[in-house]
Structure 1
Amino acid sequence: MQGIELDRVTAWASSRIPELAPPLSFSLIAGGHSNLTYRFIDARGKSYVLRRPPLGHVLESAHDMGREHRIVAALKGTDVPVPPEHGYCDDVEVNGAPFYLMGYVDGLVPHDAAAVGDMPDGQRRSLGEHVVEVLAALHGIDPDAVGLGDLGRREAYLARQLRRWSKQWAATQTHDVPEMEESERLLRENMPEQVGASIAHGDYRLGNMIVGDGRIRAVLDWELCTLGDPLADLGYLLNNWMQPEEPGAVAAATGAGGFGSRESVCMAYEEATKRDLSRIDYYRAFSHWRLAAIAQGVYKRYLVGAMG
């Protein structure tokens, strides 16, 4: 299996999971756009998950396995559901790159409208509500209380993000796109004042969750998480909260209908957090720009022949 040094990974995993029963069988269940996720099954039929960076050309800051593992471990026992973790390996001699292990959480990953085609209307509605509840819960956690107080600077989140993604855009740029530079200029000139700081997931959407029975069972993909402006998460969620009548709606689970409107998401979040959402459209614009920079990195990895 590409990306897995079977013998060495098996030995390391056995040292962290005493009940593990080799041999292990690996399969890639996600990859390309971000870190690679493998499911592995032992001789008992028990499933686990391994996360590692993409193969080939990567930007180190966007694929920090130790940081991602630390966040998942810190959120255990909070109102934010995460998979159980089984350890982090920073010894690249084991698998060619750092990785960490998690328990396998059974359920549906609602990547698009087709994925939720059989989901009853009542479960769609309750899931939509739970998505907002969990986001509000995440933003209500005191980072210091869960050991994440030094995860990043809390102030000037938008300025830091604009700086980070403009640098990564430049590092992976393959052709001129003047609109990117112009959008960055407008975002800098119209930046709202940050009010408060929280743990910000960075990629909070239904496609990064495992769900079942109208509830989130686990929030996944914490690689972009940092401390900063919580409204950036909400703006990104709203961009992905497609409505059935919109072009391209089938690309999002909410495009199937029944999950509630963007207005209902904002009302529920505002009620839960008491935050002012009068400038939320700025955060939506920022999230579109940031996603373009991320997509360029994916395209660059494709051009150089990395997985995905």
Structure 2
Amino acid sequence: MATDAAANSGAGEVRTAIDAGALAEWMGTHVAGFNGPLGIEQFNGGQSNPTYRLTTPAARYVLRRKPPGAVLKGAHDVLREARVLRALSATPVPVAPVLAHCDDDSVIGSPFYIMALVEGRIFWDASFSQVPRRERAAYFDAMNAAMAALHRVDFAACGLADYGKPGNYFERQIGRWSRQYLEDELAGRDHNMDALVRWLPTAIPQGDETAIVHGDFRCDNLIFHPERPEILAILDWELSTLGHPLADFAYHAMMYRMPADIVAGLGGADPAALGLPTEEAYVADYCRRTGRSGIDDWNFYMAFNFFRLAAIFHGIKGRVLRGNAVSENAHERAAAFPRLALFAREAMDACWPRSARARDQI
């Protein structure tokens, strides 16, 4: 899945219809300082929750809505996103201010929330090639600091004690994605995935932690200051929940091993040559910020995240073969599945203390 900045950035034609008159009337009552007329554009890109730029003569806003029509139970819960953003607004975690939310389907056809539009830059290239080489490490450091700040938040104190199911995160996640992989017979089996299904439940590190996790923390889900390496807002909280912070951090750090043609990443590149910290240095910075002496079993967390992403792409492959895939990139993602499974297997192999022959018997 190549990340195409030209295709995903900016806003234009409204693709998911919205009643501008009804929305303007509602905003006049519920959004402080709102005055029309109201202009509406829909952001480009692959947001599963339709997202719009709203413009008036004096202000600009962002609206995120649940897709109209029937959706899977629990999916596309934009009001849950609004809740976590409001809870985090009083913490050091950079988020856009939520101005209002609506759970009444009769206004525009589905629930929605409105937040302030944060002006800044989004980088679609994990190497930050758009900024001078000497400045790139500072942008990485800003990402590292933002993620550490999120994981340090006292979720109970900010009203999110019930935001997810604490404890046994890896056991639950491995079980879920293993079942999805095994049950989709049309998409086929992969010997690396089969090995991971057997190995991952036996390799979960001891101890447990719970934090607010973002679930999709990548450079292209961040708004940076227009001129300096400062994150103004973290976007796309759809996958956020209570989970294990090291799962969340390792998902983010996959960028070091992820080829750029699958998801924005640095796989195959030399970070030092690009002016970026190494994977080891980046992990050390996160540990320093979160009070850790290090991360044992680091490759387990990598294997888990590549496995999880491979299982998602395996599901997309099944939908492609059934003819009901809706994503424009579905065929590319389906084709990338075995590569992701291989990356997961390589991380698993790096954990394995026995001989290659014993490992191959898994």
> How far apart are the structure 1 equivalents of 2:181 and 2:75?
12
Q: Is the 8 A contact 2:254 2:265 kept in 1?
A: no
1:212-254 superposed Cα distances (whole Å, 9 cap, x missing partner): 2111111111111111210001110111245xxx853795376
Which residue is equivalent to 2:278? 261
* Residues 112, 252 of structure 1: 8 Å contact kept: yes
Does the CA-based 8 Å contact 2:187-2:315 persist in structure 1? Answer: no
- Among candidates 132, 149, 162, match of residue 144 of structure 2: 132
State the one-letter code of the partner of 1:214.
Answer: P
1:178 aligns with one of 141, 164, 189: 189
Q: Is the 8 A contact 1:192 1:279 kept in 2?
A: yes
Contact 1:198 1:229 in 2 (8 A): yes
Contact 1:109 1:208 in 2 (8 A): yes
**What is the distance in 1 between the residues matched to 2:98 and 2:316?**
27
The count of aligned residue pairs is: 302
Q: CA deviation at 1:203?
A: 0.9
- Return 5+ residue gaps in structure 1 as ranges: none
1:173-195 per-residue CA deviation (whole Å, 9 max, x = no partner) reads: 58323235553332223222343
Counterpart code for 1:200: V
C-alpha contact (below 8 Å) 1:143/1:149 kept by paired residues:
yes
Q: TM-score under structure 1 normalisation?
A: 0.85
The alpha-carbon distance between structure 1 residues 150 and 38, as it changes in their structure 2 partners (threshold 3 A), is same
- Matches of 2:194 and 2:109 in 1, distance apart? 36
Counterparts of 2:210 and 2:69, CA distance in 1: 35
Measure the CA separation in 1 of the matches of 2:28 and 2:313: 36
Q: Which residue of 2 aligns with 1:234?
A: 249
1:204 to 207, 217, 220: 217
CA distance in 2, matches of 1:182, 1:286: 12
Whole-angstrom CA distance in 2 between matches of 1:210 and 1:240: 18
d(CA) in 1 for partners of 2:212 and 2:110? 26
Question: How high is the sequence identity, in percent, across the aligned residues?
Answer: 35
Q: What SS does structure 2 have at the residue aligned with 1:130? A: helix
Contact 1:54–1:307 (8 Å) recurs in 2? no
Instruction: Map residues 62-77 of structure 1 onto 2, 5 A cutoff.
Output: 62-77=75-90
- 2:168 aligned with 1:151: no
Query: 1:287-298 to 2 correspondence within 5 Å?
Result: 287-295=305-313
- Kindly provide the amino acid, as one letter, of the partner of residue 290 in structure 1: R
Please, what is the CA RMSD of the aligned residues? 3.0
1:51 aligns with 2:64: yes
- 1:225 equivalent in structure 2: 240
Q: 1:15 to 1:292 in 2, by over 3 A?
A: farther
Distance 1:184-1:5 versus aligned 2 partners, 3 A rule:
farther
Q: Which has the higher contact order (CA 8 A, sep 6+)?
A: 1
Q: CA-to-partner distance for each residue in 1:115-146, whole Å, 9 max, x for gaps? A: x4331234321111111111111111111111
Note if contact 1:156-1:194 (Cα within 8 Å) is conserved in structure 2: no
Alpha-carbon distance, 1:97 to partner: 2.2
Rg larger in 1 or in 2?
A: 2
| Equivalent AA in structure 2 for residue 78 of structure 1 | T
1:35 aligns with 2:49: yes
Structure 2: which amino acid aligns with 1:175? Answer: L
**Contact 2:19-2:108 at 8 Å conserved across structures:** yes
The C-alpha deviation readout for 1:250-296, integer Å capped at 9, x for no partner, is 95376683332211110101112233411121111211222234446
Residue-by-residue CA offset, 1:74-114 (whole Å, 9 max, x unaligned): 00021110001012222222222221111101111112258
